Amino acid sequence: MIFVEMVDASLDTALEMDSISITADGTRVSGNGVISAVGRPASGFYVTTIMLSTLKWDFPFSFDIKLDKELRITDVHRIDVDTSSWDD
């Protein structure tokens, strides 16, 4: 069994915005990006003989969200994560 944890996003990771609509009610943003995750053994210790690059997965996603004036998410119209590349 493998526990999956989120990896900090790097500056090289692209988040593309397809549309931005600003109204008095907030800002609606849609676009796409990539979620990166690495696998770690679920038993609580790290296996040092396995390179982390072999336990890394990238999942493309698309989104359509609404933000308030402080740029916090207030509504999620759609978040789709493509996990078709995931191998068990």
The one-digit pLDDT tens for each residue of the chain (88 residues) are: 333 344 454 434 568 889 999 999 999 999 998 887 766 555 555 555 655 555 677 888 999 999 999 999 999 999 998 988 776 5
Q: Using DSSP, state whether 69 is helix, strand or coil.
A: coil
Domain parsing of the chain, residue ranges: 2-81
**Could you tell me which residues come within 8 angstroms of residue 45 by beta carbon, excluding any fewer than 6 positions away?**
none
Whether the full predicted model's pTM is greater than 0.85, yes or no, is no
Q: Which amino acid is at 20?
A: I
Looking up tokens 């998410």 gives 73
Q: Where would I find the H helices in 1-88?
A: none
